Amino acid sequence: MEHLWAPWRKAYLDESSPPRSTLFAEIAKESRDRENLVLLRGRTSFGLLNRFPYNIGHSMVVPYRSVARLDELTEKELLETLEILRKLLAALEEAFAPHGFNIGLNLGAAAGAGIEGHLHWHLVPRWRDDANFMTTTAQTRVHPSDLATVYEILYKSLHREESAASR
């Protein structure tokens, strides 16, 4: 018998209260990037893995500033979030060869925003037929790798040029 194991989802499912509205601001200020799954930092924004992914490599791009609405971002913030999104997409394509992506923002609680006071883009890699019976009947996603491994693969891909330059 095979077993499906996704322990990081258990913490999310057991959580009785919504995520802290300050979660992204806290991560932005900290320097524990590996622990917080931060993959890439810019001047105004950062990219990180979603701790409770829908699919392998599910990432997010977040401005450092807590803003709830798209029109509250400065032009620099908007451009940098899109640049980080583009870099994450390229790293995900290289590492996992998905067939497509879902990219989006959930603005406001009614739209599904878990942290509605701090907008963030979701980047979810998709593969043909990735929604199987487990998703529809057991409300469970099957991930072929753990978060630490995915983090290492993407981090190395995103920082390859920096590593080469420092040699």
**Do 160 and 41 meet the contact criterion of CB atoms below 8 Å apart?**
no
Angle value at C-alpha 120, between 117 and 122, nearest 5 degrees: 140
Structural domains in the chain, sorted by start = 20-158 (3.30.428.10)
Smallest Cα–Cα separation from 120: which of 71, 76, 67? Answer: 67
The residue ranking higher by pLDDT, 118 or 72, is 72
Q: What is the mean pLDDT of residues 66-89?
A: 96
- Could you tell me the two tokens for 155? 């981090």
pLDDT at 3: 45
Percent of the chain with pLDDT over 90: 57
Taking a C-beta distance cutoff of 8 angstroms, is the pair 55, 125 a contact?
yes
Indicate which residue of 3, 58, 118, 120 is catalytic: 120
Q: Give yes or no: 58 in active site.
A: no
pLDDT higher than threshold 70 for residue 135: no
Q: What's residue 19's pLDDT?
A: 54
| Helix ranges (DSSP H) in the chain | 7-14, 23-29, 33-36, 75-96, 133-138, 147-158, 160-166
Q: What is the pLDDT of residue 11?
A: 55
Helix and strand totals (H; E) in the chain: 7, 5
- pLDDT value for 113: 74
